[in-house]
């Protein structure tokens, strides 16, 4: 069992509140209201801007060149991910400038600043544990929503979003993040510290669930 799986096992209720949220379930069923998805997508774009800052912080916190390269790759993956948001929002007539001008929702601020604070106050392992529910969790959600592969989704209304996270490119990003988390833990984690990291991971998962709920409420 790798560190990511251990963290999930240690925080089952928090993790399930995130990956089995009604937003995820309805997206998978294709019944999620478009207004909810649109609210989520705009906020997720703003969310990713702050996550790019988190990877810049990871580079600053790194003492070894491989860690710096991992931070560089993480930032590059986020910037690529933002292209999906621009493309989908463009279908509603929203430009990147329109999205960036949207006010950040409280749920967006809560999670992103939590991650940045973890990185500023803690070390590189703290930061990557805080990032993990998003970075690795989205890959697990993507696989969950496309159990038979993207082609089997047919004309699913959220096919493009699901394909982004179920696809090979993002799955590789998540796999790399899992390996890097293991490497950081091998260098800096004790069993006593694991309990502290699990608490951090659980809170990040709850904040992810709150982020889904924010989108869900926006579609009502």
Spot the catalytic one: 81, 140, 164, 208.
Answer: 208
Task: Quote the pLDDT of residue 84.
Answer: 81
Cα 182 to Cα 76, 114, 178, 188, 201: the distances in Å are 21, 22, 6, 10, 15
Given this model, what pLDDT does residue 220 score?
Answer: 61
Contact yes or no for 186/125 (Cβ under 8 A): no
Tell me the pLDDT tens digit for each residue of 16-35: 999 999 999 999 999 999 99
The string of pLDDT tens digits covering residues 130-162 is: 999 999 999 999 999 999 988 899 999 999 999
Task: Walk me through the domains of the chain, giving residue ranges and CATH numbers.
Answer: 33-218 (1.20.910.10)
Is residue 81 flagged as an active site residue? no
Annotation says 89 is catalytic = no
For the chain, give the longest Cα–Cα distance.
Answer: 51
| Distance from C-alpha of 56 to C-alpha of 72, rounded to nearest angstrom | 8
Of the candidates 59, 26, 51, the one whose C-alpha atom is nearest the C-alpha of residue 157 is 26
Which one of the listed residues 81, 134, 140, 164 is annotated catalytic? 134
Residue 67: both structure tokens together? 């860690």
Residue 219: per-residue pLDDT: 61
- In terms of C-beta density within 10 A (0-12 exposed, 13-18 middle, 19 or more buried), how is residue 63 classed? exposed
Residue located via tokens 């993790």: 15
- Rounded to 5 degrees, what are φ and ψ at 184? -65, -40
Q: So what's the pLDDT on residue 3?
A: 97
Give start and end residues of each alpha helix (H) in the chain. 3-10, 12-19, 22-29, 34-61, 65-90, 96-101, 106-121, 124-135, 137-145, 159-166, 168-188, 191-218
- 55-72 pLDDT, tens digit per residue, is 999 999 999 999 999 999
pTM over 0.85: yes
């Amino acid at each position: 069992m790798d560190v990511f799986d251990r963290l999930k096992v240690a925080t089952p209720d928090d993790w399930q509140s995130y990956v089995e949220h009604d937003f995820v379930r309805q997206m998978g069923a294709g019944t999620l209201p478009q207004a909810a998805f649109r609210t989520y997508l705009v906020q997720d774009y703003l969310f990713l801007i702050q996550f790019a800052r988190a990877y810049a912080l990871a580079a600053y916190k790194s003492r070894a060149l491989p860690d710096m390269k991992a931070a560089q790759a993480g930032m590059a993956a986020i910037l690529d991910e933002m292209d999906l948001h621009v493309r989908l929002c463009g279908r509603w007539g929203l430009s990147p400038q329109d999205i960036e001008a949207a006010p950040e929702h409280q749920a967006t601020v809560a999670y992103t600043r939590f991650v940045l604070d973890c990185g500023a106050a803690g070390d590189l392992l703290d930061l990557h544990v805080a990032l993990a529910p998003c970075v690795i969790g989205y890959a697990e959600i993507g696989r969950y929503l496309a159990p038979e592969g993207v082609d089997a989704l047919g004309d699913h209304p959220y096919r493009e979003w699901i394909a982004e996270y179920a696809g090979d490119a993002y799955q590789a990003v998540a796999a790399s993040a899992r390996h890097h988390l293991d490497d950081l833990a091998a260098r800096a984690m004790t069993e006593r510290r694991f309990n502290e990291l699990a608490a951090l991971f659980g809170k990040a998962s709850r904040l992810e669930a709150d982020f889904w709920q924010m989108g869900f409420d926006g579609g009502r």
